[in-house]
Amino acid sequence: MRTALDALAVIHEELWDEACSLVRLAPGVTPGVDLSDLDLHSVRESALGAYFDFSRGHTQRATAALRAVLATQWRQPDAAWSGSFPVVREQALPALVGAREWVDYDPNWRQFLGVILAILRAKFSELLDFDLSDEVDEAISWCVAGEPDARIADTYTNPNLLSAWLSAHEGVRGGRSTWVESGLNRAQRIMERLRHFGDVDEYNSPTYDGIDLLAVALWIAYPPTQEFFEWGHELRTILRDRISNLFHPELAVTAGPYARAYGVTFASYVSLLGIWIAVSGGESTLPSVLTRDTEHVHDLYFGPVIVDLARESQWTFVSQPVRLARSHTQRFGAARSTSRLSPNAAIGVDEKNRGTFARDQYVPVMVTSRGEDSSVGSLGIYLGGESYIDGYVVVDGLIEVVLRGNENGTAMRVRAEPLSIDGDVVTSGPISFELPEGDVEHVSGGFTWRGGLSETRFYLRYRP
């Protein structure tokens, strides 16, 4: 992890804008799209950069960045976005009426920025001027007060975990019993669902498992109440055991399917789960080259926070070599996720998952396989259009993929590393399938496919 933090130090220097005391939006945030002419500045990463600078003794720059971040907070009582922050400083203030969630504002920035500020305050309170400390307290209070009680669905794991801790923590700190009660109630609902289903709803995500682990580390290291401490250990054990079971150390991937993923391998982009594993010595779970152009590089800014929380919460992770085949099945009602690992493969398929949130990040079929020549391929099939996708393991080495659409046909998006298309045959290392009849459009990292039938089937082959 030391190498990754050294890379972050270089990236941070390159992105730092002295003129406004914020960091510029990294090119890797929007791969394939050059936004440099817009000169945008990332608010969340600037707050994390302040944490990084405080930890390295760059107090003056950290203080300037923290003040600049606090100045961006939106404060308007009763507005849907009150207490949140812009994603970039240049983002327009949302309208009082009719502002669109996820388009005009990101409501989860209350949780992300509120938690970052609370961690920063806990670690570096002695470095904050008296007035700045008060400003941080006030900003966090706006984050908690602005969050509507019913906004975050019980199934939306990562902001739920953060919100539960932030509300209870600030409630205890400020003597606000209603905030403590709200946080406890939210945490209790999370635990009830965890015990009922056996895992978190936002299941098996290379990015959001990392946020879940961050939140749970806060429950353990900075527990607002004894319940948070005990629940944190219970929750982390379940998360860690599942991640360890699905992680293939020789292939440096976790077996799918993925509830949400921004890429198909740890080596292709910065993932928060990859950082947590790297903290335990698994450097192969981060891209080998880390620059400001690396895909999703902004999440590398969480590295210093995760390193500290891992130590403070006594995080350990032991990977399990895959010498014999193993499998894991997770059910949420009718939906079933099946993962299989063997010495040469890590695969995962979903059946009957009909969720609608974050469809563009959902990977119902995911395969990584190593060929006889030791070449490795990784291929993920994402949802496309209005289609849903079911995957079925016919036998080891063969997956039936079923696209279920409507009168508009079926669609899917494919990402693979490496990727080759020869006629109708798609290959990625030892993985291959024949494209059904339809239209192909090449996009960054893969392609989209559309067909005219309401249901489409094909078979994907790999070396087990």
* DSSP state string for 392-409: EEEETTEEEEEEE-BTTB
Distances in Å between the Cα of 381 and the Cα atoms of 81, 100, 284, 347 are 34, 29, 23, 12
Compute the distance between CA of residue 313 and CA of residue 219 in angstroms, rounded to an integer: 9
Compute the distance between CA of residue 365 and CA of residue 380 in angstroms, rounded to an integer: 6
Compute the distance between CA of residue 291 and CA of residue 297 in angstroms, rounded to an integer: 7
Residues 430/369, Cβ–Cβ less than 8 Å:
yes
pLDDT by residue (tens digit) across 248-281? 999 999 999 999 999 999 999 999 999 999 999 8
Q: How much of the chain exceeds pLDDT 90, in percent? A: 92
Q: Which residues of 32-57 are buried (b: 16+ CB within 10 A; e: fewer)?
A: eeeeeeeebbbbbbbbbbbbbbbbee
Least confident of 33-47, 158-172, 208-222: 33-47
pTM assigned to the model: 0.95
Domain boundaries, the chain: 2-312, 326-461
| DSSP letter assigned to residue 356 | -
**Nearest-CA neighbor of 302 among 94, 52, 57, 85?**
52
Residues 346/368, Cβ–Cβ less than 8 Å:
yes
pLDDT by residue (tens digit) across 355-403? 878 888 999 999 999 999 999 999 999 999 899 999 999 999 999 999 9
Burial tier of 329 (Cβ tally within 10 Å: 0-12, 13-18, 19+): exposed
Give me the mean pLDDT over the 138-159 stretch.
95
Q: What is the pLDDT of residue 356?
A: 76
pLDDT by residue (tens digit) across 101-144? 999 999 999 999 999 999 999 999 999 999 999 999 999 999 99
Q: What is the pLDDT of residue 377?
A: 97
Q: What is the pLDDT of residue 283?
A: 59
H helices of 125-156, in order, are 130-145
pLDDT by residue (tens digit) across 220-258? 999 999 999 999 999 999 999 999 999 999 999 999 999
Compute the distance between CA of residue 166 and CA of residue 198 in angstroms, rounded to an integer: 24
Q: What is the pLDDT of residue 443?
A: 86
Q: What is the pLDDT of residue 269?
A: 94
Q: What is the pLDDT of residue 354?
A: 87
Report residue 282's pLDDT band, with 50, 70 and 90 as the boundaries: low
Residues 72/110, Cβ–Cβ less than 8 Å:
no
What average pLDDT does the structure give for the chain? 95
Distances in Å between the Cα of 231 and the Cα atoms of 156, 189, 219 are 18, 11, 8
- 2-312 classified as CATH 1.10.3210: no
